[in-house]
Amino acid sequence: MSKIITLTLGLALAGALSASAAVPGLLNFQGRLLDSSKLPRNGDYLMSFKICNSLAATCSAPCAVGNPCLWTENQTVTVTNGVFAVQLGAVAAIDGAVFAADARYLEIAVAGETLNPRERLTAGPYSFKASVADTITDNDGSALLRISSVAVGAINNENQIVDGIIGNADISPAAAIAISKLATTGTLGANVIVSSLAVASANENVLSLSDTVTGNVSTLRHGFTPKASGSTTQFLRGDASWAPAATMKFVIKEADENVPSGTTLQNDDALSFAVAAGETWIFEFRLLVNNNNSATPDWKAAILGAAGWTCQVLQSGSEPAGTAFLQDDTTDCDAAPTAMTNTVISGSAIPYNVYLQGWITASTAGNVTLQWAPNTSGSLTVLKGSYVIAQKAGGI
């Protein structure tokens, strides 16, 4: 019958270790092996070592984390005058998860003879768990970070989150998240709410609307405004907003406008929009007109631009009772444009629709303005609610 008297049990340290060095996964174990007469033994012995989860319960194979036997290995150990030393884990590395609980016991068998009682493992071996900590806690014990929720490689050695998901969290505007830390592509998940994101002009193309899931970001609700950046992609910016007028125009006439008599073309009081040199715009004027107080005022209209501008405009419309509205067109939209006319409107105080559709290219900066007048002298009114909508070619 053999007996072991434990001399030391502790962490194996192979030379000086820096504060950031990994836990080595080895345990130094020393003891004295005596025979039944309490005399020291000599020679080489096959020893079996197990780490068990209880002092006396069965600790048989298979040995793995989660089982009664959590770890095992066999070594041939030299005993001199009863004394031996061994590094546990030299054959089968000891996983830090072995020490996830506070009661662990070392069982030793010499040449097939299991020695009793098992040795209680104390504080030293639990340093293994430092390399696989479950939770980082505050002084009061409350969890600050649950490590099991952080994927391997998600946080690098510069304390940067390099991969992962921030879920259901408010990021304060004072957090000062650098736009350089955002990937050039990515997805904002559904129902993301962001109160503030400052984006410098130099980095305006880092987070683009093309990288967001459709409908996930509401520019009205969350304060994001897209800004044109010289291409067909819109970008989210915090230091400047996208002015829709740069690429789209929508002007509504808010009051009736009447010409009591005369046939001279006049500029509409409201229906006009500005354009820059070299731009081409597609437009449509939709007008509700009333030839009140005269049976035959008829209608004429033109699109006023500037010298050297080019255009193509078609005038059409509709009249009550299915009466035909004669179409007319023009390619003259300069500083003295040619009028498009209709001379068959009949009846008094009858509203009708006029549509002017086309395109215009501006060689200089200026305004695109609707002109109109009676074709035959009489009272004519363009009603409130008439409007123009225009889109710059290649604008969004």
Determine how β-strand 43-52 pairs with β-strand 105-110. Answer: antiparallel
In the numeric block, the tokens 């095992």 are attached to 72
CATH 2.60.40 region(s) of the chain?
Answer: 3-131
Q: For the chain, give the percent of residues with pLDDT over 70.
A: 60
Q: Does domain 3-131 have CATH number 2.30.30?
A: no
Q: What is the per-residue pLDDT across 316-362, written as a single tens digit (0 to 9) for each? A: 988 766 667 889 999 999 999 989 988 777 666 778 899 999 999 99
Which pLDDT score, from 0 to 100, does residue 125 have? 65
Range(s) of the chain covered by CATH 2.60.120:
249-392
Nearest to 355 by CA among 394, 295, 299: 299
Q: Per CATH, which fold does 249-392 belong to? A: Jelly Rolls (2.60.120)
Sequence-ordered list of residues with C-beta below 8 angstroms from that of 396, at least 6 positions apart, any chain: 228, 232, 234, 247, 248
pTM comes to: 0.43
Higher pLDDT, 13 or 386: 386
- Output the furthest CA–CA distance in the chain (Å, rounded): 136
Per-residue CA distances from 27 to 13, 30, 82, 186, 289 (Å): 9, 10, 20, 46, 96
Residues of 149-185 as b/e, b for ≥16 C-beta within 10 angstroms?
eeeeeebeeeeeeeeeeeeeeeeeeeeeeebeeeeee
pLDDT at 103: 87
Chain segment 14-42, per-residue pLDDT in tens: 333 333 445 567 888 888 888 888 899 99
DSSP 185: S
- The number of C-alpha atoms within 13 Å of 291 and in the hemisphere containing its C-beta is 26
